């Protein structure tokens, strides 16, 4: 039999390796796309009150947030699967384009109903902007090398968390910028950023993709929507509707039926499923997913509760609370970069979920000692501890999920991991706020029924100067009507910042006490994650990127076809890309040449 030099493989399969410069350009485009989605979540929240007032629909603001959250969450696994089928590049371009369209429409909205619909369009693009960058990283880089770069993406979350409230407050406070109402720039600012990201992606993102015959999991997509939408809806609106109301029960039943239908559809679709059930046969993927849900619960619980605490108890403005969160962001960035470097050098990552959940647990335990008389720096220490934990967890769990599956399943593994973390975050936010606002009336009643507190307040209220100050009128009215105290912190709480500190103190103490209960809940969840992290099976990190592994696999198929056609001998000891024989035929249908 004839033998041919292994360089013949170069004629069959393109070299998938990328230079460091190419990788950096691609990362810049991916970061810009992810920045759009991350910034949007923080910048809009700060501006929502102004938007609601201008569009005469403040009571509908929850639907604006809910529409974005639901659509972005359910679209995440769909993007992952479609990118496995059609390639990362076209799906990422589509995600950016949809997000920009939604941003433009939201900036032109004339009612809160329109804004909710356009935010849903934004969410449809945001699902891809959150899932695909990490998937593309998984394609380009081997797991050990990938850890060095993923810290950049966590920095995106950090920067957006700090500057989002600042930018949102600036736009909301401006009556007009370039002849356009100030708050509309909250959405329009996405356009120049998105256009830059789109240009970089079109220029530099060229990921080889091998087309293969697959079935599209339409039933999986339909049932995941039926399962997720009612559960996310009740998580967002349950406190207002009532957790045991008729509409809540309907959401529970529909969601449960959707979950059952989704599992059945995925089982029937096999490898072509939206989230293949075979992924959960991997103990590493299974445990990483569970930890992701628990960490998402703790992360979103902290990031939603702490700014509220800073604003109400410490009197910070929304913009100031964004800056005061800097220790958490700093801890997140430091720990992500350090852990990434250590993983890259050693190839080991099992210790980081353990240490990360340990830091988070320490941070939440520290928070349980919070009280209204503690200074701001007290909370900042706890934020640093939580940030140091999150930085070690977010990238490590994604890395573990990606490394536990084959190269062809990286898309569904990454998007599945992101999807379940978002579900955990949504549930965490819903449960945290439900506990908080259920606990507040109880604490208020306990505080104001204390005889010592009643005597102190009566003495302050009898002061003519206190009674004459209009800033104290709302609290004095509540003291005269004790039945109103239970709902004192349900609506606008700005009166606490301007009223006499002696009158405001019981309210601040009550809120701080109620928030400590929330910190105990978060601590319990994170302690469960800490215990489970010891059972994460850390499989050795692969030395090749998904592109290289796919190229090798395709080369092996082509080599075998060439050998079968020419009678040449395929040398088993050589690289899978080496073809021993000449005149290799075109690949058969289903194993075609890599295309962009």
pLDDT digits (tens, 9 = 90+) for 202-213: 887 877 766 666
- CB contact at 8 A, 463 and 337: no
- CB contact at 8 A, 214 and 272: yes
> Residue 344 and residue 130: Cα distance in Å, rounded?
23
- Looking at mean pLDDT, say which of 233-237, 294-298, 361-365, 561-565 comes out highest: 361-365
Q: Is the pLDDT of residue 37 over 90?
A: no
Q: Is the pLDDT of residue 474 over 50?
A: yes
Q: What pLDDT score was predicted for residue 163?
A: 76
Q: What average pLDDT does this structure show over 145-160?
A: 73
pLDDT band with cut points at 50, 70 and 90 for residue 141: confident
Q: Measuring CA to CA, which residue among 385, 384, 380 is closest to residue 361?
A: 385
Instruction: For domain 275-544, say whether CATH 1.20.1250.20 is its number.
Output: yes
Q: What pLDDT score was predicted for residue 257?
A: 94
- Which residues sit opposite 595 in a β-bridge? 209
Q: Do domains 17-213 and 275-544 have the same CATH topology?
A: yes
Q: Measuring CA to CA, which residue among 417, 423, 370, 375 is closest to residue 397?
A: 417
Enumerate the domain spans of the chain: 1-16+565-596, 17-213, 275-544
- How far lies 202's CA from each of 143, 189, 196, in Å? 25, 21, 10
Report the residue count for the chain.
Answer: 596
> Residue 154 and residue 157: Cα distance in Å, rounded?
5
Q: What pLDDT score was predicted for residue 209?
A: 66
Percent of the chain, pLDDT > 90?
18
Q: Is the pLDDT of residue 267 over 80?
A: yes
pLDDT digits (tens, 9 = 90+) for 326-339: 888 888 888 888 88
Q: What pLDDT score was predicted for residue 596?
A: 41
Q: Is the pLDDT of residue 584 over 60?
A: no
Percent of the chain, pLDDT > 70?
82
Q: What pLDDT score was predicted for residue 14?
A: 39
The region of weakest confidence among 130-134, 371-375, 382-386 is 130-134
Q: What tokens does 86 get?
A: 């059609």
Q: What tokens does 134 get?
A: 């990490």
Q: What pLDDT score was predicted for residue 592?
A: 38
Cα angle 206, 209, 210 (rounded to 5 degrees) comes to 155
Q: Is the pLDDT of residue 583 over 60?
A: no
Q: What average pLDDT does this structure show over 478-492?
A: 64
Give the Cβ contact number of residue 566 at 10 Å. 18
**Tokens 């992360």 label which residue?**
299
- How far lies 269's CA from each of 77, 262, 401, 455, in Å? 15, 11, 21, 70
Residue 254 makes CB contacts below 8 A (sequence gap 6+) with 226, 230
- How far lies 282's CA from each of 191, 291, 419, in Å? 41, 14, 18
pLDDT band with cut points at 50, 70 and 90 for residue 458: confident
> Across the chain, what does the average pLDDT equal?
79
pLDDT digits (tens, 9 = 90+) for 506-523: 888 888 888 899 899 999
Greater confidence (184 vs 497) lies with 184
Class of the 17-213 domain? mainly alpha
Q: Is 180 helix (H, G, I), strand (E, B) or coil?
A: strand
> Residue 421 and residue 299: Cα distance in Å, rounded?
10
- How far lies 220's CA from each of 156, 271, 401, 413, in Å? 32, 12, 21, 15
């Amino acid at each position: 039999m004839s033998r041919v030099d292994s360089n013949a493989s170069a004629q069959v399969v393109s070299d998938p390796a990328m230079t460091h410069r190419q990788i950096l350009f691609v990362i810049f485009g991916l970061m810009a796309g992810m920045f759009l989605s991350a910034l949007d979540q923080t910048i809009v929240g700060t501006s929502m009150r102004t938007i609601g007032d201008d569009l005469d629909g403040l009571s509908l603001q929850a639907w604006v947030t809910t529409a974005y959250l639901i659509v972005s969450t359910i679209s995440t696994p769909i993007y992952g699967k479609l990118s496995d089928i059609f390639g990362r590049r076209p799906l990422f371009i589509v995600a950016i384009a949809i997000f920009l369209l939604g941003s433009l429409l939201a900036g032109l909205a004339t009612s809160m109903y329109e804004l909710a619909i356009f935010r849903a369009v934004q969410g449809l693009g945001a699902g891809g902007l959150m899932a695909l960058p990490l998937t593309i990283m998984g394609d380009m880089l081997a797991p050990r090398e990938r850890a060095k770069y993923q810290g950049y993406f966590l920095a995106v979350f950090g920067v957006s968390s700090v500057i989002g409230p600042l930018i949102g407050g600036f736009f909301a406070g401006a009556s007009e910028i370039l002849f356009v109402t100030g708050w509309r720039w909250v959405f329009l600012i996405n356009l120049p950023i998105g256009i830059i990201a789109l240009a970089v992606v079109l220029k530099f993102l060229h990921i080889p993709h091998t087309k293969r015959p697959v079935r599209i999991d339409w039933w999986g997509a339909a049932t995941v929507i039926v399962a997720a939408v009612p559960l996310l809806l009740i998580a967002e609106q349950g406190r207002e509707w009532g957790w045991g109301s008729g509409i809540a029960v309907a959401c529970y039943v529909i969601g449960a039926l959707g979950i059952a239908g989704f599992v059945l559809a995925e089982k029937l679709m096999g490898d072509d499923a939206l989230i293949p059930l075979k992924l959960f046969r991997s103990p590493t993927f299974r445990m990483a997913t569970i930890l992701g849900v628990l960490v998402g619960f703790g992360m979103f619980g902290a990031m939603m509760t702490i700014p509220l605490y800073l604003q109400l108890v410490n009197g910070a403005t929304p913009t100031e609370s964004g800056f005061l969160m800097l220790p958490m962001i700093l801890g997140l960035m430091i720990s992500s970069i350090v852990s990434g470097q250590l993983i890259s050098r050693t190839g080991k990552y099992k210790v980081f979920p353990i240490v990360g959940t340990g830091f988070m647990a320490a941070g939440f335990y520290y928070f349980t000692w919070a009280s209204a008389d503690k200074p701001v720096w007290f909370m900042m220490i706890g934020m640093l501890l939580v940030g140091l934990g999150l930085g070690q967890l977010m990238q490590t769990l994604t890395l573990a999920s990606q490394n536990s599956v084959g190269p062809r399943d990286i898309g569904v593994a990454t998007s599945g991991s992101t999807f379940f973390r978002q579900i955990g975050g949504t549930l965490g936010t819903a449960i945290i706020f439900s506990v908080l606002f259920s606990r507040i009336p109880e604490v208020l009643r306990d505080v104001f029924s204390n005889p010592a507190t009643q005597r102190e307040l009566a003495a302050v209220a009898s002061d003519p100067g206190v009674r004459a100050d209009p800033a104290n009128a709302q609290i004095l009215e509540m003291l005269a009507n004790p039945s109103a105290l239970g709902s004192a912190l349900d609506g606008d709480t700005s009166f606490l910042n301007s009223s006499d500190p002696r009158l405001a103190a019981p309210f601040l103490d009550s809120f701080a006490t109620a928030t400590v209960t929330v910190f105990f809940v978060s601590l319990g969840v994170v302690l469960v994650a800490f215990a489970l992290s010891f059972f994460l099976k850390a499989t050795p990190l692969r030395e090749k990127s998904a592109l290289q592994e796919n190229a090798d696999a395709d080369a092996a198929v082509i080599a075998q076809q060439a050998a079968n056609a020419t009678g040449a001998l395929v040398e088993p000891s050589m690289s899978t890309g080496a073809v021993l024989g000449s005149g290799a035929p075109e690949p058969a249908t289903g194993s075609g040449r890599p295309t962009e």
